[in-house]
Amino acid sequence: MSTPADAETVTTRTRPVGAAIGLLVVVGLALVPLFVAPYETTIIGRILIFALLAVSLDLLVGITGLPSLGHAAYFGIGAYTAGWLTINVTAEAPIPLLAAAGAGALAAAATGWLAVRSGGIFFLMLTLAIGELIFQLAQSWESVTGGSNGLYGIPAVQLAGSPLVLAGLRYWYVLAVFLIGYAVLRLVSASPFGAVLRGIRDNEPRMRSLGYSPFRYKLVAFVLAGAVAGLAGGLLTAQQRLVTTADLGFTTAALALLAVVIGGAGTLWGPCLGAALVVLIRDALGPRLDGHGPLVLGLVFILTVYLLPRGFAGLAGLRFRRRPAEPA
Amino acid sequence: MIVDWFDTNLVSILNGFAIGSLLFILAVGLSIVFGMMDVLNLAHGALYLAGAYLGYQFAGDTSSWLGFGTALGAAALVGLLAGGVLSTMTEPLARRPHLDQALLTLGVALVVAELLAISYGNDVLRVNAPPGLNESVQVFGRTYPAYRLALIGVGLMIAIAVYVVVERTTIGALVRASVADRDMVSALGVDNRKVKLAVLGAGSALAAVAGVLGGPIYGAAPGLDETVLILALVVVVIGGLGSIKGAFIGALVIGQVESLGRALVPDLASFMLFGALALVLIVRPRGLFGAKAAG
What digits encode the pLDDT tens for the residues B206-236?
A: 999 999 999 898 889 988 888 899 889 889 8
Q: Which residues of A touch B267 (CB under 8 A)?
A: 140
For residue B182, pLDDT over 60 is answered with: yes
A261 part of a folded domain = yes
Q: Which residues of A touch B278 (CB under 8 A)?
A: 114
DSSP per-residue string spanning B114-139: HHHHHHH-SSPBP-PPPTTTSSEEEE
CA distance B106 to chain A (A): 8
Give me the pLDDT at residue A14, please: 56
B25 part of a folded domain = yes
Helix (H, G, I), strand (E, B) or coil at B80: helix
* Residues of the domain holding A112: 5-27+42-320
ipTM for the whole predicted complex goes beyond 0.95:
no
Give me the pLDDT at residue B293, please: 46
CB-closest option in A120, A133, A295 to B114: A295
Query: Does the distance separating the beta carbons of B106 and A254 come in below 8 Å?
Result: yes
Q: Does A124 touch chain B (CB under 8 A)?
A: yes
Query: Does the distance separating the beta carbons of B236 and A2 come in below 8 Å?
Result: no
A89 part of a folded domain = yes
Q: Which regions of chain B does DSSP assign to beta strands (E)?
A: 136-139, 142-145
Q: Is B280 exposed, middle or buried (0-12, 13-18, 19+ CB in 10 A)?
A: buried
Structure confidence by residue, pLDDT tens digits, A141-167: 888 888 878 888 888 888 877 888 788
CA distance B185 to chain A (A): 23
B162 part of a folded domain = yes
B295 part of a folded domain = no
Which CATH number does the domain housing residue B173 bear?
A: 1.10.3470
Structure confidence by residue, pLDDT tens digits, A291-313: 777 888 889 889 988 888 777 77
CB A77 within 8 A of CB A233: yes
Query: Does the distance separating the beta carbons of B104 and A124 come in below 8 Å?
Result: no
User: Any residues with CB less than 8 A from the CB of B77 and at least 6 apart, and which?
Assistant: B205
CB B205 within 8 A of CB B75: yes
Q: Does B226 touch chain A (CB under 8 A)?
A: yes
Query: Does the distance separating the beta carbons of A120 and B295 come in below 8 Å?
Result: yes
Which amino acid is located at A278 in the chain?
V
CA distance B61 to chain A (A): 28
Give me the pLDDT at residue A2, please: 44
B185 part of a folded domain = yes
A37 part of a folded domain = no
Give me the pLDDT at residue A8, please: 47
Q: Does A136 touch chain B (CB under 8 A)?
A: yes
Rounded to the nearest 5 percent, the helix, strand and coil shares of chain A are 80, 0, 20
Which CATH number does the domain housing residue A269 bear?
A: 1.10.3470
B131 part of a folded domain = yes
Structure confidence by residue, pLDDT tens digits, A90-124: 888 889 999 999 999 999 999 998 888 887 777 88
A225 part of a folded domain = yes
How many structural domains does chain A have?
1
Interface residue of A201, A301, A308 to substitute, partner B, most B CBs within 10 Å:
A301
A229-248 in b/e form (b: 16+ CB < 10 A) is bbbbbbbbbbbbbbbbbebb
How many structural domains does chain B have?
1
| Residue A6: pLDDT band with limits 50, 70, 90 | very low
Query: Does the distance separating the beta carbons of A261 and B103 come in below 8 Å?
Result: yes
DSSP per-residue string spanning A61-109: IIII----S-THHHHHHHHHHHHHHHHHT--BTHHHHHHHHHHHHHHHH
Contact map slice: B 45-104 vs A, CB within 8 A: 92-93, 96-100, 102-104
CA distance A250 to chain B (A): 7
Give me the pLDDT at residue A315, please: 74
A33 part of a folded domain = no
* Residues of the domain holding B103: 2-283
Give me the pLDDT at residue A191, please: 94
Rounded to the nearest 5 percent, the helix, strand and coil shares of chain B are 75, 5, 20
Q: Does A299 touch chain B (CB under 8 A)?
A: yes
Could you give the C-alpha distances from A255 to A43, A294, A299, B178, B283, in angstroms and in order?
Answer: 16, 9, 12, 33, 33
CB-closest option in A122, A295, A301 to B103: A301
CA distance A250 to B89: 23
CA distance A67 to A305: 15
Which amino acid is located at B237 in the chain?
V
Average confidence score pLDDT of chain A: 85
A118 part of a folded domain = yes
CA distance A181 to A109: 19
Interface residue of A140, A302, A303 to substitute, partner B, most B CBs within 10 Å:
A302
List beta partners, residue B143.
Answer: B138
Q: Is B163 exposed, middle or buried (0-12, 13-18, 19+ CB in 10 A)?
A: middle
| Residue A206: pLDDT band with limits 50, 70, 90 | very high
Give me the pLDDT at residue B291, please: 62
